[in-house]
Structure 1
């Protein structure tokens, strides 16, 4: 059994996947690298995956499947994982090799020690093309350092500070126990990957190292704003699924409840902003329908989100109200460096 399984979803990734894989190979024999070729057709992705599996048979595995999207590639990785812990690294991203050794050392300590670990959180770096300053997402304001803790020990999450797929490593068994299965042919499912397991997590550890390098800059990237607007239906689907997993208003841990509500608030806001920025009546109607969906499904949560600062901003009346929301979004975007 391996210490850590890393799934790399690959779709026409020949120009960057080797850099990703090479950084992960520095983990050595304790790591299992599952390269999932998600029906690539335009390039040598499948051949490169097979080549690594041949060169490193005890570390790399190549799995080929019909195209099912990012979520299905993650599902395949999880189904095939033999590691005690599980991480997803996208094929255009990579990891810092020195920090990787710290991560493995930490995971090893839990496997051979007395304490249990459900979720390891590390920092990640926005590797934004053309940016002079690299923004690092740290969690020192939110989490205690160098100790196992639970939700009640969480401190303060700042605005824009969320646990993302880049920052999290889950215990493989926990992901299977909570029934995690991401929808096929859908983008933005990384939000589900992080969100759905949270109520099952009891033991957390924060390792303050800049481990994951999150590349932003390709024109066809799923987080490119124009691409997101074109895929707004998938953003709406993911948001609706997340709204339906739990009645978050009834989660017993106050701090976990607060965090999950905040997460849903940002999903509602992003969906609303994309609909407004698209400028089409059809998408404005979809935004309205999303808020009505929430109202019908969970009135207390609707009131909590609708009457909050962001909820009011998302629903300001008229063209002037929409322009004000976009201005606020642009300021936040510049400050936090996303998209």
Structure 2
């Protein structure tokens, strides 16, 4: 059985695809690389087919445009590997860290062990910045051994797992029935959040593996782009609210992490709406809080009464000034553009 499947959702990715795939093919026959061309109008399909012809562990898959979530869904459906990873087409991985991860997964496999989630660090490769920020978890996760939620420490507000951090056991994704919304940005939050609730065993290797390229003006995490697409951010935010049943989660460390994740997502939503600043944006913020209160009262009480929840809901012009200052701090902590 193939050890690892890597899905590369690709939309008009001709400028990046060679570099991304080039960083992955060194995994050899332990890895299958699925280039999922999501209805591109440029040379993405041609390049994908060239790469598939050149490398035995690369497959080119074409689909009509379904968005990032739809491409990830295809990757999960097509994957033949024991584990599953998503690498966006404009990102890449560090070779030494990659080979160390494959060695560790192979060792676990040879010992008859599997884990539900394999975690590593990711690095913000922010354009124009020479100093790169690494998101690591050494203060909260045990290293170099299999562990459970009982062994996990407390995550700080600026410390969270993203799609870039995680490799999931493929069958776990299928068991939980993970299907991401199509034609929707920011679904990586769901990819992290939903399967994590079923994760029991984990392994953390503290290497800077994933290189997350950030800084393009047209990127989905660019502030102005996020404000234009705020309805998609709010859609994802509501899905997280709906999927969190606090009463059903008995493991306190898992409960704490999931609460932290929803809080971060909600605060970003509110901060972006404040940055938008129009009456329509303010109404949408009010509707978001009302939705959380109605659908998940326990969650509402926790998030709304927190410091960040209060600061992003101050009224009037002075309140928005303070909220925007909080947003700038959040940007520097959370790393989005």
**What does residue range 1-339 of structure 1 map to in structure 2 within 5 Å?**
1-41=1-41, 43-56=42-55, 58-335=56-333, 337-339=335-337
1:22 Cα offset (Å): 0.4
How many residues are paired up? 337
TM-score by length of 1: 0.97
Q: Is the 8 A contact 2:157 2:264 kept in 1?
A: no
Q: For residues 39 and 50 of structure 1, what CA distance do their matches in structure 2 show?
A: 14
Q: Is the 8 A contact 1:71 1:182 kept in 2?
A: yes
1:159 Cα offset (Å): 2.3
Q: For residues 325 and 283 of structure 1, what CA distance do their matches in structure 2 show?
A: 14
- When residues 337 and 299 of structure 1 are mapped into structure 2, their CA distance, relative to the original with a 3 A threshold, is closer
Q: For residues 239 and 332 of structure 2, what CA distance do their matches in structure 1 show?
A: 29
1:161 Cα offset (Å): 0.7
User: Residue deviations 1:265-304, cap 9 Å, x none?
Assistant: 0111011011110121111101100000011111111111
1:338 Cα offset (Å): 3.0
1:335 Cα offset (Å): 4.8
Q: For residues 334 and 181 of structure 1, what CA distance do their matches in structure 2 show?
A: 31
Question: What is the SS of the residue equivalent to 1:26?
Answer: helix
Q: For residues 326 and 296 of structure 2, what CA distance do their matches in structure 1 show?
A: 27
1:334 Cα offset (Å): 3.0
Q: Is the 8 A contact 2:34 2:60 kept in 1?
A: yes
Q: For residues 335 and 183 of structure 1, what CA distance do their matches in structure 2 show?
A: 27
1:86 Cα offset (Å): 0.2
User: Residue deviations 1:28-50, cap 9 Å, x none?
Assistant: 11100000000001x10010011
1:249 Cα offset (Å): 4.5
Q: Which moved more, 1:323-332 or 1:27-36?
A: 323-332
Q: Is the 8 A contact 2:33 2:58 kept in 1?
A: yes
User: Residue deviations 1:130-177, cap 9 Å, x none?
Assistant: 112111111101101111111111013122110110010000000000
Q: CA RMSD in A?
A: 1.1
| Structure 1: runs of 5+ lacking an equivalent | none
TM-score by length of 2: 0.98
